[in-house]
């Protein structure tokens, strides 16, 4: 005989009290209290450092990313990439547990490296850390040296490593740390006496859009500029389905990555994502190392192409000029549907600068601009960008070190027409009853958006089309005019 025991809630609230609180969290009074909190983060618009390190590690040929830390952390990184790209994210971990936290993780690392190499024969194993080994102070320099000396892995296996504590920084800082570590390791002793290799090395930064990377390569091929992308994930996470599983599909060839110090020029398109890597390249490469804004919208794309043309003395081909003309025409045809609309925007610093540039070009108003981990330098740059358009940018406000629960308060008390950001902005959009335009990382509740470029001239058309058609759909589905936008 079974019996059912009713569980009594620890705290009971009346229906009236629940409704009162639901209304109150949409008020200015609650917003003031929400913005006063300091010791709590709710729904951050960023991920942790090792996730960014893993994206870099995937971007090199024959690479098996190796997580020095717990299995749960590794599963989180892998599942996030798998859900965003709808592709497997092959990586391994040494599965540290309680004993590792007490005695250190060297034995875990030895066993993990040995098993991973025996099973998968990678060409390179980039190693990065999670919270546990960082808290106890594991020495990866000594650990990896000891692993090779004791014969757990071959002496000549590249094992660059990066310290990427999850409790500090974000995914873009982990990206920077891992990319710098890989280049330092591979390029050791490879610098020439001043003669460059005539190539452009392009650093796309933390970008979950594989189509963006393909667009860069297409542009440079059209211009006749020899180019290598550093941390090229375009094939890794977007390989063809032809019946053959490729554990190591695509990625930047290791010999080409090693030759990065001999580039004629290196361009980083996400300076807030790669400051330490770019600084290292400036001091250790024979060519020019610069950063440019993410080429979203017409102005930024023009700047990118003109700088490449200047560096390599190559003309911009007529085909690209025609693409530019089509993008400008499309923006002219549809600008009235975005003109004057207010947008909330959340994401990484470099993506935010690109999106805001595009909105200003369309005569839209970037109204609430939120970056959950950034600096006063970024805020000043964003404010300077807004100031370039007194009519549309003057109304925008920049919020740094705030989260998406802060964004909810902003959108409920000072409404906007739409929000631009990743999937985690969905709850703000739902409560505010506004559209969410999914741009950034991760996008886990829609498919194939990472296969549609948002950079370059075609990217401007894609962004424009997505936004305008959603606004038109909403009006068409709710208005009483059955002849909406029709002549008969």
Active site residues: 131, 135
Alpha carbon dihedral 354, 262, 251, 212, in 10-degree steps, equals 20
Tokens of 285: 């490469």
Tokens of 325: 């003309």
> How far apart, in whole angstroms, are the C-alpha atoms of residue 47 and residue 51?
7
> How far apart, in whole angstroms, are the C-alpha atoms of residue 163 and residue 148?
19
CA 12 to chain centre: 42
> How far apart, in whole angstroms, are the C-alpha atoms of residue 239 and residue 372?
32
Order the strands of the 288-291 sheet from edge to edge.
227-229, 200-203, 265-268, 288-291
162, 181 contact by CB (below 8 A)? yes
Pairing status of strand 288-291 against strand 265-268: parallel
> How far apart, in whole angstroms, are the C-alpha atoms of residue 128 and residue 116?
15
328, 463 contact by CB (below 8 A)? no
> How far apart, in whole angstroms, are the C-alpha atoms of residue 273 and residue 440?
14
> How far apart, in whole angstroms, are the C-alpha atoms of residue 34 and residue 42?
10
> How far apart, in whole angstroms, are the C-alpha atoms of residue 476 and residue 484?
6
Partners of residue 296 on adjacent β-strands:
456
203, 231 contact by CB (below 8 A)? yes
191, 285 contact by CB (below 8 A)? yes
Q: 166: part of which helix (H) or strand (E)?
A: none
Q: Which of 371, 178, 176, 461 is nearest to 291 (CA)?
A: 176
> How far apart, in whole angstroms, are the C-alpha atoms of residue 456 and residue 301?
5
Tokens of 30: 């609650």
């Amino acid at each position: 005989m079974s019996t059912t025991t009713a569980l009594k809630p620890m705290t009971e609230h009346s229906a009236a009290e629940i409704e009162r609180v639901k209304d109150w969290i949409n008020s200015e009074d609650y917003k003031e209290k929400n913005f006063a909190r300091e010791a709590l983060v709710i729904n951050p618009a960023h991920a942790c450092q090792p996730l960014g390190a893993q994206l870099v590690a995937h971007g090199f040929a024959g690479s098996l990313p190796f997580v020095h830390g717990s299995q749960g952390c590794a599963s989180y990184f892998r599942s996030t990439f798998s859900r965003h790209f709808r592709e497997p994210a092959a990586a391994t971990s040494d599965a540290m547990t309680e004993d590792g936290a007490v005695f250190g993780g060297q034995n875990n690392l030895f066993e993990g490296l040995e098993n991973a190499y025996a099973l998968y024969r990678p060409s390179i194993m980039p190693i990065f850390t999670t919270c546990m080994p960082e808290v106890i102070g594991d020495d990866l320099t000594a650990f990896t040296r000891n692993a090779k000396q004791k014969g757990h892995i071959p002496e000549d296996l590249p094992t660059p490593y990066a310290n990427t504590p999850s409790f500090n920084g974000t995914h873009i800082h982990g990206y920077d740390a891992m990319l710098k570590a890989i280049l330092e390791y591979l390029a050791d002793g490879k610098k020439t006496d001043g003669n460059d290799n005539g190539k452009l090395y392009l650093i796309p930064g933390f970008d979950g859009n594989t189509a963006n990377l393909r667009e860069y390569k297409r542009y440079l091929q059209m211009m006749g500029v020899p180019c290598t992308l550093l941390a090229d994930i375009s094939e890794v996470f977007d390989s063809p389905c032809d019946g053959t599983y490729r554990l190591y599909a695509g990625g930047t060839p290791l010999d080409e990555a090693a030759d990065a110090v001999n580039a004629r020029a290196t361009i980083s398109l996400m300076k807030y994502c790669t400051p330490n890597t770019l600084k290292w390249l400036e001091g250790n490469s024979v060519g020019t190392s610069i950063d440019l804004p993410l080429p979203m919208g017409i102005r930024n794309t023009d700047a990118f192409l003109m700088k490449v043309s200047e560096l390599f003395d190559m003309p911009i081909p007529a085909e690209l000029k025609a693409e530019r003309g089509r993008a400008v025409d499309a923006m002219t045809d549809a600008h009235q549907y975005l003109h004057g609309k207010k947008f909330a925007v959340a994401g990484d610093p470099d993506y935010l600068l690109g999106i805001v540039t595009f909105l200003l070009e369309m005569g839209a108003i970037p109204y609430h601009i939120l970056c959950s981990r950034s600096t006063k330098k970024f805020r000043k740059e964003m404010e300077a960008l807004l100031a370039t358009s007194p009519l549309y940018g003057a109304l925008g406000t920049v919020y740094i070190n705030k989260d998406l629960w802060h964004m909810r308060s902003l959108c409920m008390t000072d409404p906007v027409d739409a929000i631009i950001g990743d999937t985690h902005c969905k709850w703000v959009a739902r409560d505010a009853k506004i559209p969410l335009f999914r741009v950034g990382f991760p996008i886990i509740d829609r498919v194939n958006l990472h296969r549609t470029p948002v950079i370059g001239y075609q990217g401007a058309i894609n962004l424009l089309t997505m936004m305008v058609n959603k606004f038109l759909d909403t009006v068409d589905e709710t208005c009483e005019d059955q002849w909406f936008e029709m002549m008969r």
